[in-house]
Amino acid sequence: MKTITIAAFILALLAMPAHAQGRRQQGGGEETRAKQDTKPKVDEKAYKAALERIPEPKEKYDPWGVARPAEPAKKTK
């Protein structure tokens, strides 16, 4: 009797994660619709104008500049 109880308990523990995955809320409630409507609209003209206001760098950025020298050493024969 003890082994049957333990086996049933183990099976119940294994079934709980599968049961939790199957429980999903169905969308379409008024709260979800209200959250979707409050998203700000993206203005393409304002976005492009903001990108144009970013200044161009005077010199090109080198992400490996610290890891390697700027110019390789020249070989002399």
Asked if residue 4 has pLDDT above 90, the reply is yes
At residue 76, what is the residue type? T
> Which residues 6+ apart lie within 8 Å of 70 measured at CB?
62
In whole angstroms, give the CA distance from residue 28 to residue 26.
7
- Global pTM reads 0.29
Which has more confidence, 67 or 31?
67
| Per-residue pLDDT, 76 | 67
Question: Residue 61: what pLDDT?
Answer: 81
Quickly list DSSP for the chain: -HHHHHHHHHHHHHHHHHHHHH--PPS--HHHHHHHHTSPPP-HHHHHHHHHTSPPPSS---TTTTTS-SSPPPP--
